[in-house]
Every structure is written in C-alpha cells, then in structure tokens.
Amino acid sequence: GAAALLLAGCGSGQIGGTGGQTDPNNKNLALITGQRGEPFYVSIECAAQQEAAAQGYQLNVQAPEKFEQAEQSQILGGIVSGKPGSVIIAPTDDKALAAPLQQAKGNGIQVVEVDTALEDRSIAVTSLSSDNYAGGQLAAQTLAQLLGGKPGSVLALNTKAGTSTTDERAKGFEDEIRKHPNLKLLPTQYTENEPATAAQIVSSTLAANPDLVGVFGTNLNTGEGAGTALSNAGKSGQVQLVGFDASPKQVDDLRNGRVQALIAQNPGKIGQEGVKRAVASIKGQPVERETKTEMISITRDNMDQQAQYFYKSQC
C-alpha cells in the first residue's frame, strides 16, 4: 500500500510516495540522450563517461536515431528492465516520456533530467539545463546588437512542439524582440528539428518578407538549415543569423560568415554534474532539484577566445 511504499521510499532517499526502492550499492547508470551522434549530446556523453569512470560506475549510453519520443520510449523500456540505479535522460517530449519515466521511478530507478525536462516536475529527482528562456533573450539581444537599429522583420525557428528547451528559447526570444519597436516579429515556425525543413521555411519567408533582417535558429539543426538557405539565396551576412549551440559545423559557419552569432551551452558541465547527481541520489543523498548552467554569446570577433565552449563530435 501507499504507506509501505512511502517507507521504502524514505530509506532510498526518495521524497515522493511512488518511488520504488533503490539499492544504494547499485553501480550501474544509464544515459539516454535525445539524438545519436549529435554534438551537443556527444559532449554530454563524453563528460558523463569520464565522471562515471572516475567514480567507479558503469555508464550505458543509448540514444534514438532521431530526436523522437517513440524510439526513445522503447530504449527507456529496455534500460528499465536492466535496473540501473539511475537513468540520466534528455526527454524528447515534455509529456510523452512521463509515463515510462514514472514507471522507472516506481522500479527504484532515480531519474535525472539533463537538458530537456518533463512538464510533470514530480518524477525526476533533479534537472540540469541551460536557462533556456534567458538563452532566448540573449539571442534576441545579440541579434538587436548586430542589427544596430536597422528595422525589419525577424523570424524564430523552433524544433518540435513539446521540446521544453526550444519552446523556452523561442518564448524568451519573442518576449525580448517585442521590446524593440523597429523589429517586426513574424510568427515562430516549427521545423520538426529537420535542417531541410528549416531551410525551406527560411527560403519561403525570404520570398514573402523582403524586409527580413534577422533569423534565430533555436538549436543546432534549425540554425544549420537556416544558414544553408541564406547562403543559397546570397543573403549570408545581410540577414543576420543567430544560432544556438556550437557544433563543429556551426563554428565553421561562424568563421566563414554564414552565421553571425552562436549562443553556446555548457554540455560538458551538464554531463559531469548529471552523473554526480545520479550517484548522490542512488546513495540517498539530497540533490538540488533545479540547476541552470551557463551560456555564452559567441561572435566571430571573440570566437578564438571561446574555443572551450565548442562542442565535440566524438570523445
């Protein structure tokens, strides 16, 4: 019954009444990122592997082929049956992953959210991410600075509805752009996290809005697609492009003038701290519920001093 569950929970460092018991000596961790081979998540993975090894824990890393909840839920199901002490996860949908993660919790697996998060705050013990709303605001401020008062239309490209991070970035960007009366905010568009879709949207927006002066790509894929479209239209550097993340390709594009600024996150910190929190929660130690890691606005002028923020495509 509920009382027994609650008792079991107390001994295992659980706060809620629906968590199963965690073996404090369990040395197995799992990390499920949002997309296989994608440099932001690769950078999380490299740091997490290093920290797990340093602490004497096994880390099993898996990820869906695409940023997609169906395959990620399936992977999670397999991981849960292996009973790691903790699953560190970037949920690809803020609602769809709630049920399988609740089930993981019920099985005594400590849920640590990295990057994205569920809407339901009662399932994970801790969440580590950039302050994505502030990141969106920083993107808008950077864009306004690049434009230096030049009027015109601006467009934000979101990924998939229900992605907590990019939804917050788009919101922060929109709220900040509205403070600039000379900038007209076009309706934010969804790209489904496909660079080709982002490119198509930018091409059609250019055709329909000849006064387009700025684009914000809320993540790696959208920014890369937008850069391609602007380059194909001969508009690189005329339409200012602010991207989010700092993949090797994005950094190249910043250097060659296809992109004017990047808001870089700190995935290494997120991965390292994610493992520390997972280990602490397995041992029943308290962890901070919500932690925001820093971001930085990188332009061509300062990029050579910011190389520590560039993402890895392999460890």
Cα-Cα-Cα-Cα dihedral sign, residues 118, 59, 287, 171: negative
Q: Is 244 in the site for ligand T6T (CB under 6 A)?
A: yes
Of 152, 258, 164, nearest in space to 205 by CA: 152
Which of these segments, 80-88, 173-181, 184-192, 213-221, binds ligand T6T (CB under 6 A)? 213-221
Q: Does 220 bind ligand T6T (CB under 6 A)?
A: yes
Tell me: does residue 221 bind ligand T6T (CB under 6 A): yes
Interface with ligand T6T (CB under 6 A), residue from 26, 30, 31, 38: 38
User: For ligand T6T, what does the binding mask look like between residues 289 and 308, x meaning CB under 6 A?
Assistant: --------------------
In the complex with ligand T6T, the residue whose CB is nearer, 57 or 244, is 244
Residues in the chain: 315
Strand segments, DSSP code E, in 107-236 are 110-114, 126-130, 152-158, 183-185, 189-190, 212-217
Residue 4 CB neighbours (<10 A): 9
Q: What is the DSSP letter of 236?
A: B
Class of residue 93 by CB neighbours under 10 A (exposed 0-12, middle 13-18, buried 19+):
buried
Site string for ligand T6T, 96-135 (x = CB under 6 A): -------------------xx-------------------
Is 191 a binding residue for ligand T6T by CB under 6 A? The answer is no
Neighbours of 177 (CB within 10 A): 23
User: Would you state the structure tokens that stand for residue 57, as one six-digit string?
Assistant: 């824990």
Size of the site for ligand T6T (CB under 6 A): 13
- The encoded tokens of residue 168 equal 């917050």
Specify the residue, 9 or 34, whose C-beta has the smaller distance to ligand T6T: 34
Q: Tell me: does residue 250 bind ligand T6T (CB under 6 A).
A: no
**Residue 34 contacts ligand T6T per CB under 6 A:** yes
Listed residue (189, 141, 144, 143) closest to 166, CA to CA: 189
- Which residue, chain included where needed, has tokens 């250097």? 255
- Cα–Cα separations (whole angstroms), residue 226 to 97, 161, 200, 304: 29, 19, 8, 23
With H, G, I as helix, E, B as strand and everything else as coil, classify residue 291: strand
The least distance separating ligand T6T from the CB of residue 109, rounded to whole angstroms, comes to 22
The answer to whether residue 12 forms part of the interface with ligand T6T (CB under 6 A) is: no
Strands 126-130 and 110-114, by their bridges, are: parallel
Q: In angstroms, what is the minimal distance from the CB of 210 to ligand T6T?
A: 30
Asked if 69 touches ligand T6T (CB under 6 A), the answer is no
Q: Kindly tell me which of 38 and 273 has the beta carbon lying closer to ligand T6T.
A: 38
Tell which positions 143-172 bind ligand T6T, by CB under 6 A: 163, 165
Based on the shown chain and the rule CB under 6 A, indicate whether residue 253 belongs to the binding site for ligand T6T.
no
- Kindly state the smallest distance separating residue 132's Cβ from ligand T6T, in Å: 7
What is the contact surface with ligand T6T in residues (CB under 6 A)? 34, 38, 40-41, 115-116, 163, 165, 219-221, 244-245
